[in-house]
């Protein structure tokens, strides 16, 4: 009988502990007790993936950005597939045929659930940690990811279309867009520095390389035109900076030289209030790295689902 009471007490104690964790605020040690192998597992899969395809690091970072900018919440809504009740963000203009890495997130989720013995790590937290680990794998800064996010049970293609910043935005539009997310001008410039990694499709920069003759280096424009014709080739890729698989400050050096690939990139250095910060970052990688990490933490912590909100999805692609 005493043994039965002891088991019951232990069971109740574990359940109480899990409930306390579920209703707590974010913390960097959120999974230390319930699954200490969660974060090392995410890091291992990300490192293996980036080793095989360095471009995937930028793709995983971009998934986290595009998730956080919709409904002002990093809630893994971008991972939900289309259903009769889910208006998938995957088909929104900023994501359709360009957002990638979903299969990597599936692998991470499967591995994490395996080592944890059950689904205790949210898909939203996986996105946040995978973004950080991708930057580190490409020689960028690290930061403490606050954990304890919950997953959304909804998605919004319309909101994704409206809220994710576009390659055609000018500086006032970008400032307003980031302000809507609770981010200031320093965050705008620092987070735009994520374009030190990855590529863009021809359709996103065609207008710039053919029509913006006054704010683009002519040699740079000609070089981009070789792989991006006036018509066709919409999905042809060009690197966002010369070292697209290395976290460095050359993205900002490019802007100072009028070699920003996207209109929204060059808008950061076009005679406006962000020019000085771009200059600073272009010559000081340490300052850029520090500010980037700080802004990533800030972006990742805005208006989250926590506690009893949302859910922890068993499958990141669908609601439980």
Task: Encode pLDDT of 50-97 as tens digits.
Answer: 999 999 999 999 999 999 999 778 999 999 999 999 999 999 999 999
Q: Mean pLDDT for the chain?
A: 92
> What is the fold, at CATH topology level, of the domain defined by 171-299?
Peroxidase; domain 2 (1.10.420)
CA distance readout (Å), 267 to 30, 86, 223, 295, 309 = 39, 35, 20, 19, 38
Q: Which residues pair with 156 in a beta bridge?
A: 87
Q: What is the pLDDT of residue 303?
A: 83
At 19 the pLDDT is 39
Q: What is the predicted pLDDT for the residue at 18?
A: 42
pLDDT at residue 73, rounded to an integer: 87
Which residue in 66, 139, 195, 263 is the catalytic one?
66
The domains of the chain are located at 26-164, 171-299
Question: Please, are residues 233 and 203 in contact by the beta-carbon 8 Å criterion?
Answer: no
CATH 3.90.1300.10 at 26-164, yes or no = no
Question: Which pLDDT score, from 0 to 100, does residue 6 have?
Answer: 46
**In this predicted model, what pLDDT tens digit does every residue of 14-28 receive, in sequence order?**
443 443 344 347 999
Beta strands 199-201 and 237-239: pairing type? antiparallel
Residues of the chain with pLDDT under 50: 1-24
Half-sphere exposure of 23 (CA within 13 A, CB side): 5
Q: Which pLDDT score is estimated for 71?
A: 78
Task: Let me know if the fold of 26-164 is the same as that of 171-299.
Answer: no
pLDDT of 13: 41
Residue 310 backbone dihedrals phi, psi, to 5 degrees? 60, -145
66 given a catalytic annotation: yes
Cβ pair 71, 162 in contact under 8 A = no
């Amino acid at each position: 009988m005493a043994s039965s009471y002891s088991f019951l007490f232990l069971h109740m104690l574990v359940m109480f502990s899990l409930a306390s964790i579920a209703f707590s605020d974010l913390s960097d040690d959120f999974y230390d007790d319930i699954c200490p192998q969660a974060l090392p597992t995410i890091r291992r899969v990300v490192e293996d993936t980036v080793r095989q395809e360095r471009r995937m690091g930028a793709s995983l970072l971009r998934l986290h950005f595009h998730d956080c900018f919709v409904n002002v919440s990093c809630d893994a809504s971008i991972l939900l597939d289309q259903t009769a009740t889910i208006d998938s963000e995957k088909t929104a203009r900023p994501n359709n045929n360009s957002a990638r890495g979903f299969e990597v997130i599936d692998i991470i989720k499967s591995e994490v659930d395996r080592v944890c013995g059950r689904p205790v790590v949210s898909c939203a937290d996986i996105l946040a940690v995978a973004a950080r680990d991708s930057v580190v794998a490409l020689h960028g800064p690290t930061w403490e990811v606050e954990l304890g996010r919950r997953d959304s049970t909804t998605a919004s293609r319309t909101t994704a279309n409206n809220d994710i910043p576009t390659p055609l935005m000018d500086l006032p539009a970008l400032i307003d867009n980031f302000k809507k997310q609770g981010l200031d001008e320093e965050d705008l410039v620092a987070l735009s520095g994520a374009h030190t990694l990855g590529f863009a499709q021809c359709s996103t920069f065609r207008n710039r390389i053919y029509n913006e003759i006054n704010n683009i280096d002519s040699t740079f424009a000609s070089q981009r035109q070789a792989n991006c014709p006036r018509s066709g080739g919409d999905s042809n890729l060009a690197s966002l900076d010369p070292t697209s698989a290395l976290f460095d400050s050359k993205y900002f050096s490019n802007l100072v030289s009028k070699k920003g690939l996207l209109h929204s990139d060059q808008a950061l250095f076009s005679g406006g209030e962000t020019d000085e910060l771009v200059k600073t970052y272009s010559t000081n990688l340490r300052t850029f790295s520090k500010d980037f990490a700080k802004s990533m933490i800030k972006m990742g912590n805005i208006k989250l689902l926590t506690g009893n909100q949302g859910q922890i999805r068993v499958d990141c692609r669908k609601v439980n």
